[in-house]
Amino acid sequence: NAGVMQNPRHLVRRRGQEARLRCSPMKGHSHVYWYRQLPEEGLKFMVYLQKENIIDESGMPKERFSAEFPKEGPSILRIQQVVRGDSAAYFCASSPPGTGAHEQYFGPGTRLTVT
């Protein structure tokens, strides 16, 4: 029973390039969450998605960041025109449908480095 899968695990981008981070939730889970972790910090919520819908994007920066969870395929977190401050670990979590939104299981993360 595979857990939450994220790829790539490490991503290096130069300033101004685009970063695409992918997340496949646990089998049977239909809710996906993205969090960002800066060094020596806790995780900060970015966005919550269900299939084809963004439910809560209150933690997402207004510019350059977007997220989707299409009907088929993984959830994608897209960062356009990356800057050095975007360097962080990005974690995806998933939870089961119904009332299980509080039980969030995390993937291994994508560590983004912007040079």
Partner 1 sequence: QQQVKQSPQSLIVQKGGISIINCAYENTAFDYFPWYQQFPGKGPALLIAIRPDVSEKKEGRFTISFNKSAKQFSLHIMDSQPGDSATYFCAAYSGAGSYQLTFGKGTKLSVIP
Residue among 24 and 104 whose Cβ is closer to partner 1 = 104
**98 sits near partner 1 (criterion: CB under 8 A):** no
d(CA 108, CA 115): 22
**103 sits near partner 1 (criterion: CB under 8 A):** yes
Applying CB under 8 A, the span of 12-20, 41-49, 63-71, 72-80 interacting with partner 1 comes to 41-49
**69 sits near partner 1 (criterion: CB under 8 A):** no
C-alpha neighbours within 13 Å on the C-beta side of residue 91: 16
**44 sits near partner 1 (criterion: CB under 8 A):** yes
Tokens read off for 5:
């899968």
**48 sits near partner 1 (criterion: CB under 8 A):** yes
Reduced 3-state DSSP string for 7-61: ECCEEEECCCCCEEEEEECCCCCCEEEEEEECCCCCEEEEEEEECCEEEECCCCC
The residues that touch partner 1, with contacts defined as CB under 8 A, are 4, 6, 31, 33, 35, 40-45, 48, 55-56, 58-59, 91, 93, 99, 101-109
